[in-house]
A and B are shown apart, each in its own frame.
Chain A
Amino acid sequence: MLSISNLHAAYGKVEVLHGISLEVPKGKVVTLIGSNGAGKTTTMRAISGMIKPVSGTVMLGGKDITGLDSHRISRAGLAHSPEGRRVFSTMTVNDNLLLGAFPRLTRSRPKGDVNGDLEKAMELFPRLKERRTQLAGTLSGGEQQMLAMARAVMLNPDVILLDEPSMGLAPILVEEVFRIIRNLKERGVTMLLVEQFAAAALKVADHGYVLENGRIAVSGPAEKLRDDPAVKAAYLGG
């Protein structure tokens, strides 16, 4: 579904990604792990067009989306739930979700049943149902994270990028976030996941890539990485 080859990206003069290649097959969950500064978030941002890649290609469902503006990429069917949530804080939960479906409402993506999907999202994220008319800025950190994920789902995308969905959440909410990711996976949603809890991410994922200093160091089926002693020592904290 999502296929990246030889991606290079830089902030100003400093090149951060030195040729990343990875595949996210349809209906699978793929996770990127690595230490801070390895380039996980940069990879996500380069895929979704928030920074322009220096070179390399990003293909989404056979279509080249390299270097497009991010709103075009989201219309092409890629949703990005960014690090640090970034909800529209002065708008209600409902409006935030409808904005997630904006390309559908303006028909730059097949419309489908937006209202039906809104109700489905509320079922998937029961915490949001209680808060429908509340302003997003008044939600707790955990609820904002749910909202950011639900907003991505509302695009009805082919692929969702989830960047640090459990960051800054209480342990009890971390469990819920992972429950939701599994739930989405069961519904056949394709996801690329970056997570601070690498061990948990490798449990939910089908496939994993380990990033080191802007390069893919190791990759393989998730369960294999989980048992790899080197990966264990370096990233799984034990």
Chain B
Amino acid sequence: MVAQLEEFEAGEPLVFELTHGDLCFAVKLDETAEHGVGPDENIVAFSTLCPHMGCPIDPSAADPSTGHFGPCGCHQSLFNLRKDGRMVRGRACSNLARIELEVRGNTVVALGKARPAFGDPLQEEHALTTVAAVEQAESEVQS
């Protein structure tokens, strides 16, 4: 569980641990967000780790009006929480790791990461191409 819906106030980030020590935050933005939940689809959650080199970013650096998050104190990357954590400017070559949320009754629940956070082990489903896909593409060319 992350929090009850009524606990969210715009711009007041709620910090939680997805697993022990794995710091994440949820925040209610002023406007609807991609993958947002809640009545106004404006509650989103992300890892606090910058996907560039893993520096932690203070959740209070989330601006509910613009959706901007950051800049990261290490290399000044800035992200847009309204748009799936995409980098607005900076150095990261991955987006901020979004946490899948779901509302169950009145409770906001964190389901897991939509993409790996910095340092997470990477699984086959995250790969651009898999062995099976390459083999199929090459067999199509040969045929």
Do A and B belong to a common assembly? no
| A interface residue numbers (CB < 8 A to B) | none
| B interface residue numbers (CB < 8 A to A) | none
